[in-house]
Structure 1
Amino acid sequence: MHLPVMPPVKPMLAKAVHEVPRAPGLTYEPKWDGFRCIVFRDGDELELGSRNDRPLTRYFPELVELLRAALPDRCVVDGEIVVVTDDGLDFDTLQNRLHPAASRVKKLAEETPASFVAFDLLALGDRDLMGESFRERRRLLEGILSGALSRVHLTPVTEDPDLAQDWFTRFEGAGFDGVMAKPGDEPYEQDKRVMWKVKHERTADCVVAGYRMHKDGVGIGSLLLGLFDDEGRLHHVGVASSFTAARRKELVTELAPLRERALENHPWRDWAEAQTEAGGRMPGGVSRWTGTKDLSWEPLRTELVAEVRYEHVLSGRFRHGGRLVRFRADRTPESCTYGQLEEVAPAELAALFPEVTP
């Protein structure tokens, strides 16, 4: 492979903001909930690179063939790999595509085929485009990629902040992460936060059912959160993390009383006992990306309620890690139910993804 822009490329990043920016010269796009991917193509050679420099090519053989048919012979395209269902983007299914067995990869490629959404063009032919403005890169991207290709799509864009705000609201139920804002006159700057992202945030009161120690072994790294369903079962919905070093140490002291006799009536007792039998790891909890990460946990008596800020819910769990707002002595654990979560009806996806059933 010999291209004017060679792998690895560190994708351009975004700063988080709380509302859609309205400065002159901005271009807006939906924020996709998938795997960031930069496609390198040189003739028959095609490589799918991730944001962590880990190749994705072997996991998505169906996309390799599609992209060979959809893209020019020599180009570098920035985009997102997603799995689209009739109900929206399905990140859980996408994660399941990262399987070590070749036979399983082939089976999943047929059963849950992925789609690719292109949103930037870094090279075309012998031309390095990273020094060009985004407006010029987008113009060239539109020239090489139609919007009607099967499972290879060109992301919609607008310069209208009111339409971007509409996307932010209307597309949420379909699993979109939010909205991106890009300066139209700026070059492509690797690994720099020169864009803006607006993501959905809301709060929920959750039961604190346990914790994991921080990787430094000194303080608490994350709180394990639960919500009750209509039958009174406590489900693990995610974690709250991102504590300062000082706060991690404080939490060890604050939560110590809840460790006493924590397993006697703990709703996740079988889970904890299976962890012990498995040598200190949560069953089924090893990440495909960080298989050596210690996911052992310490149970707590389910008496503490935490108000947690989260973005959105996918398959009954917080899509990303939450952030602790405060502990709430005024709420009972039994009041922490799924009923408090805001649900948004899925948006119509057929206009963006022809492969979705209308």
Structure 2
Amino acid sequence: MPGEVERPAELDEIVPFPPMEAELVRDLPTGEGWAYEPKWDGFRGVLENASGELRLWSRNGRPLLRYFPELRPLGELLPKRSALDGEIVIAIDGAVDFDAMQTRLHPAESRINRLAGEIPARFIAFDVLVWKGKPQWQKPQAERRAFLEREASAFDLSPAAGDPDAATAWLDDLEHLGLDGVVAKRVDRPVEPGGRGAVVKVKPERTADCVVVGLRWKSKPDRIATLLLGLYGDNGEIDYVGTAAVAAGRHAAIAEHVLPLLEEAPDRNFGEPNRWGGSGLEQQPLRPELVVEVRYDKVQGNRFRHGTKLLRFRPDKDPRSCTWAELRPPREGGLTVEALLDA
């Protein structure tokens, strides 16, 4: 809701803030009046120099340019008293890498500068807010997009399409580039600072078959909190990839499948219990004989970014067929982030 984020004191009043948000919906909206863009998986950023100094603000009003010093040359492309809305991303081997973004949030300037040289970030603009001292954000999205393409073509611009079929193709085909879904924008609406009425986002429903490699107890030995999931790597070993919560209404049925696998289970270290919500919960390994299908929203590095939803058991599937191909489909056609931006 507007007003929840404190406006930075240094931000000129000509720049609307906070950035417009997108409401999550299940289905891609179609029909007249919609435009579509890929949903980048990086850090949202408002790049502006309205006060005379180039700044890059997060959606929460935090200055980001310190962490991404390689973006300072963009100030030479931005006219005085201008502001663009966009996303900061890092692409490695042609795909967006969110883990690499997080390594930048570090207090040591020497480390930041080293990483800026080794794996530079880029700013992908998708909206114009102010240009040469003239507010653009009150104009309809269609006019702002045309203005952005005409006046800010020196920047990396996010692709845009008016065809819902193109947006559907993005949902189907761009997961391997690390993108996070599709954003749909009402072409007749202005920017609504902090609001969600003019933009929606759609994330594809992704599923994977994983081996159940352990559990965490809610109360031992009668209540299971989560199942621990794994995939086989190229070396034949099982990598821990995340968790699936055990719903109370399904506990009895799940326990019937899982508890017998406690016997003669191998020793196994799952790692990172705090990151995945298991702080203080005792965990135990299981014999890796049970396969489950889970729904997930995003993979970050070698883990599901959030907990998954258990869909069903897969007694028909060999656990060793659960490999990293489940989460990292082969890239087809050689498409990269760079090629997508140049299209």
Do structure 1's residue 326 and structure 2's residue 326 form an aligned pair? Answer: no
Match of 1:165 in 2: 168
Q: Distance in 1 between matches of 2:30 and 2:121?
A: 33
Structure 2 gap segments, 5+ residues each? 1-9
- Tell me the equivalent position of 2:239: 235
What is aligned with 1:11? 20
Q: Equivalent residue for 2:156?
A: 153
Contact 2:23 2:197 in 1 (8 A): yes
TM-score (norm 1): 0.74
Match of 2:180 in 1: 177
Q: 1:71, 1:144 within 8 Å by CA — same for their partners in 2?
A: no
CA displacement 1:218-256 (0-9 Å, x = unmatched): x98764321122443111223346x8xxx3697599659
One-letter amino acid of the counterpart of residue 323, structure 1 = K
Tell me if the contact between 2:214 and 2:228 (Cα under 8 Å) persists in the aligned partners.
yes
Secondary structure in structure 2 of the residue aligned to 1:300:
strand
Moved more, 96-105 or 47-56: 47-56
Secondary structure of the corresponding residue to residue 135 of structure 1: helix
Q: Would you say the 8 A contact 1:32–1:176 is kept in 2?
A: yes
The share of aligned pairs that are identical, in percent, is: 41
Q: How far has the Cα of 1:119 moved from its partner?
A: 0.6
Q: C-alpha distance in 2, partners of 1:221/1:193? A: 37
The count of aligned residue pairs is 323
Q: Is contact 1:213-1:220 (8 Å) kept?
A: yes
Distance 1:3 1:221 in 2: 49
Give the deviation of 1:104 after TM superposition: 0.5
How far apart are residue 136 of structure 1 and its match? 2.2
Q: Which residue of 2 aligns with 1:278?
A: none
Structure 1 residues 230 and 68, CA, compared in 2 at 3 Å: closer, same or farther? Answer: closer
Q: Which residue of 1 aligns with 2:114?
A: 107
The aligned counterpart of 1:224 is 228
Aligned to 2:25, what secondary structure does the other structure show? strand
Matched, 1:205 2:205: no
**1:93-122 Cα shifts (integer Å, max 9, x gaps):** 222222221111111111111001001122
Aligned counterpart, 1:343: 330
Q: 2:339 is matched by which residue type in structure 1?
A: A
Which has the larger displacement, 302-311 or 65-74?
302-311
Change (3 A) 1:58 1:314: same
CA drift at 1:170: 4.0
Which residue number in structure 2 is paired with residue 94 of structure 1? 101
Contact in 1 for aligned 2:34/2:185 (Cα 8 Å): yes
Q: State the AA in 1 paired with 2:207.
A: T
Q: Distance in 2 between matches of 1:261 and 1:161?
A: 49
Map of 1:28-39 to 2, 5 A cutoff? 28-39=36-47
RMSD: 3.7
Q: TM-score, normalised by structure 2?
A: 0.77
Checking the alignment, whether the CA contact within 8 Å between 2:11 and 2:51 is kept in structure 1 is no
Q: Per the alignment, do residues 234 and 69 of structure 1 end up closer, same or farther by CA in structure 2, a change over 3 Å counting?
A: same
Q: Judging changes above 3 Å, is the alpha-carbon distance between structure 1 residues 251 and 191 closer, same or farther for their aligned structure 2 residues?
A: farther
Q: Does the 8 Å contact 1:210/1:225 carry over to 2?
A: yes
Distance 1:44 1:128, change over 3 A: closer
Question: Which residue matches 2:7?
Answer: none
Unpaired runs of 5+ in structure 1? Answer: 276-280, 287-292
Q: Which residue of 1 aligns with 2:58?
A: 50
CA distance in 1 between counterparts of 2:202 and 2:249 reads 32
Q: Which amino acid aligns with 2:78?
A: L
Query: Structure 2 vs 1, CA of residues 329 and 351 (structure 1 numbering), >3 Å: closer, same or farther?
Result: closer
Aligned to 1:39, what secondary structure does the other structure show?
strand
| Matched residue, 1:187 | 190
